[in-house]
A and B are shown apart, each in its own frame.
Chain A
């Protein structure tokens, strides 16, 4: 079936019926974008591959929980993927990256593991975040890449909650071009 053969509504219906061809289409269409999100959080390729599989299995099992009125399918998958990737780093007791850790560490880890050119791209977003001024970088690093709640960020950075909110919004506005 051609990729254009499904509208989003048709795809969601077929996924809810657990039809194999719908999952094949979903995987082929979205694996690259979701894998990219995982690799932003997890440097190890093997672990990232396992998480990618678990993400699609979780989508299969939880597709009934997807509520079309709350947003697009991709948005739901994106949040699920990032949460699963962050959980994985916690479960595996990976060293929690301190907010001061240099982005170059990620680059070198990844380059050692895999010199494939595509793997240089996936750190793009994190690299962009780390180019922001420190007060923006810190809140986004903790929030987006490490899954900290706003209250936790306030505690870690010893700044008021209101400041966290303002910095997050300003940081994301600066990054808008990267996300969109």
Chain B
């Protein structure tokens, strides 16, 4: 094969942009290993294309930037307490405690991140067919702890298919959640978790869409909770629950 002709045939561009057929891709990858000049040409093209496309950027605007950056940060935070957000907007002199809260959240998110990466690895192993199918030791210890009561939360009305389990530790007051089934919320709505205390529903936080199927600790569950429910609310959550939009309910 005349590799110079091949390089200038347009195949590099098609390969880099993912427009080749699978056979062309296989051939390309094989030739790439045999011909250093082809490898060099790909690297050069990729790098030039990146530079060029960065120069030709079209920007979505600050509002979209803020929304997406917030969403990306929220991926590291399983629950977003709505009270902290309100305090920031209304009372700036609360900045110190808020900063402390943010640091705390950051710590919590780093912790979860660490836990998640452990769990992701484990899930990856499971998928590969490793025989050792088990929860990470810490999760297993929580579930088998005798002081922990599982609270099944069941779908309400037309949402009968929804399922989730809370694990409630009476001794420490800690709670954990595992969402088994809950439809994806639209971009303009959020699921919010509530605890029933003295006959009133108190917000626990907005449920991050990404925690499905994971075992997650729920921070700040109010003492004296006797039941939990999940409602669908407007983005950012509500002060009082929209009871008509209750998806899940469970009593301790």
Mark A residues whose CB is within 8 Å of B.
17-18, 20, 23-24, 27-33, 35-37, 39, 48-50, 52-53, 56-57, 60-61, 64, 71-72, 74-75, 78-79, 82-83, 118-119, 121-122, 124, 143-144, 149-151, 165, 168-173, 175-176, 179-180
Which of A35, A75, A149, A168 touches B60 (beta carbons < 8 Å)? Answer: A35
Q: How far is the CA of A149 from the CA of B72 in the complex (A)?
A: 33
Q: Name the residue on B nearest A80 (C-beta).
A: B18
Q: Is the interface of A mostly helix, strand, loop or mixed?
A: helix
**Inter-chain contact B64/A49, CB cutoff 8 Å:** yes
Which of A53, A64, A82 touches B71 (beta carbons < 8 Å)? Answer: A53
Mark B residues whose CB is within 8 Å of A.
8-11, 13-14, 16-19, 21, 24, 42, 45-50, 52-54, 56-60, 64-65, 67-69, 71-73, 75-76, 109, 113, 116-117, 120, 187, 210
Most buried by A among B47, B59, B72: B72
What residues of chain A lie closer than 8 Å to B116, measured between beta carbons?
18
What residues of chain A lie closer than 8 Å to B50, measured between beta carbons?
33, 72, 74-75
**Inter-chain contact B18/A79, CB cutoff 8 Å:** yes
**Inter-chain contact B10/A36, CB cutoff 8 Å:** no
Q: How far is the CA of A60 from the CA of B209 in the complex (A)?
A: 14
**Besides A57-B72, A118-B59, 10 other CB < 8 A contacts?**
A31-B68, A48-B60, A52-B68, A60-B72, A74-B46, A74-B50, A82-B17, A150-B21, A165-B24, A168-B10
What residues of chain B lie closer than 8 Å to A118, measured between beta carbons?
58-59
**Inter-chain contact A33/B56, CB cutoff 8 Å:** yes
**Inter-chain contact B13/A56, CB cutoff 8 Å:** no
Q: Name the residue on B nearest A71 (C-beta).
A: B46
A146 to chain B, nearest CB (A): 11
B106 to chain A, nearest CB (A): 8
User: What are 19 A-to-B residue pairs whose CB atoms are below 8 Å?
Assistant: A18-B117, A28-B65, A31-B59, A32-B59, A33-B53, A33-B54, A37-B53, A50-B187, A52-B68, A53-B64, A53-B71, A56-B68, A61-B75, A72-B47, A78-B53, A165-B21, A170-B10, A176-B10, A180-B48
Q: Taking A36-B53, A39-B58, A118-B58 as contacts, is the C-beta distance between A179 and B64 under 8 angstroms?
A: no
What residues of chain A lie closer than 8 Å to B42, measured between beta carbons?
71
